[in-house]
Copies of this chain bind each other. A is one copy, B any other.
């Protein structure tokens, strides 16, 4: 059996007690470590589990999944995923391979907390979100802006948008690669401030007002951990706000935000007066 086990969001103790039992008795334990990361190191997981953990990078999961699945038709293999297992399509892909495997490998998934629901901590109702979008690191020559259309679709219905921010783990240094050496860059995690800047940058070319400077947004950092932090304000304000260590996410507020959501969210505002003023001017009754 392949157990795909969600680890939740913060540290080694967010695994369910059921998940922990499986990890302790599994033949091998893998940790998917490229679509999301916990706030603690692998060694801390290993100490808590009393097991060694094999890091599964993108290369291993996408090209060497046979190694992961070896023997799983008769023994238990645990594949750990930060957050909830089904929040990344990679895992759907892995489950599909188990189905097609000869001999067939049974799979079981243990759900856990995901950023998609933990974001409820902002006070914005989870029932008022539209589709989720991703924001990648812009470069000088590559500034993909398809997120803008998705956000505009959500906004047309007054819905909030959760924006997941890019992480770069184990990226090869291109200069070293050109010299035939593989050297990995240090990991990079997009901040709320960077995301807000990129949104405003795209607004300058798209000009539909979807991610304009005065749009209200909420930035979140390290949700589900003791050090979680939430800040609300205009996109422009958020470009100046340092939310500290990763992981960060951003929510763009939709006009459907009702009074109870507003009451909860304004407590996190950089500038409450401004937040209320914009809410009354641009949001209330605009849906």
Cβ contact of A132, chosen from B86, B108, B121, B127, cutoff 8 A: B127
Cβ contact of A86, chosen from B93, B120, B131, B153, cutoff 8 A: B120
User: For chain A residues 218-236, which have a beta carbon within 8 Å of chain B?
Assistant: 223-224, 226
What 1/0 flags go to A77-121 for Cβ under 8 Å of B? 000000011110100110110010000000011111110111011
Say yes or no: A13-B18 contact (C-beta < 8 A), given A110-B224, A118-B111, A267-B99.
Answer: yes
Say yes or no: A89-B15 contact (C-beta < 8 A), given A8-B111, A117-B84.
Answer: no
Q: Please, how many angstroms separate the alpha-carbon atoms of A142 and B125 in the complex? A: 26
Which residues of chain B have C-beta atoms less than 8 A from A18's C-beta? 11, 13-14
| A114 CB to nearest B CB, Å | 4
Q: Please, how many angstroms separate the alpha-carbon atoms of A217 and B52 in the complex? A: 42
| A111 CB to nearest B CB, Å | 3
Write the chain B residue with the least CB distance to A93: B260
Among A6, A13, A84, A267, residue most surrounded by chain B Cβ atoms (within 10 Å): A84
State whether the Cβ of A196 lies closer than 8 Å to any Cβ in chain B: no
State whether the Cβ of A123 lies closer than 8 Å to any Cβ in chain B: yes
State whether the Cβ of A126 lies closer than 8 Å to any Cβ in chain B: yes
Say yes or no: A86-B224 contact (C-beta < 8 A), given A15-B16, A15-B17, A17-B17.
Answer: no
Q: Please, how many angstroms separate the alpha-carbon atoms of A202 and B224 in the complex? A: 40
Say yes or no: A117-B120 contact (C-beta < 8 A), given A129-B131, A131-B127, A132-B126.
Answer: no
Write the chain B residue with the least CB distance to A109: B121
| A94 CB to nearest B CB, Å | 11
Write the chain B residue with the least CB distance to A13: B18
State whether the Cβ of A157 lies closer than 8 Å to any Cβ in chain B: yes
Q: Please, how many angstroms separate the alpha-carbon atoms of A242 and B11 in the complex? A: 40
What 8 pairs between A and B have smallest CB-CB spacing?
Answer: A86-B120, A111-B113, A13-B18, A111-B118, A114-B117, A84-B117, A127-B132, A13-B17
A residues with CB within 8 A of B:
6, 8-9, 11, 13-18, 20-21, 84-87, 89, 92-93, 95-96, 99, 108-114, 116-118, 120-121, 123, 125-134, 153, 157, 159, 223-224, 226, 260, 263-264, 267
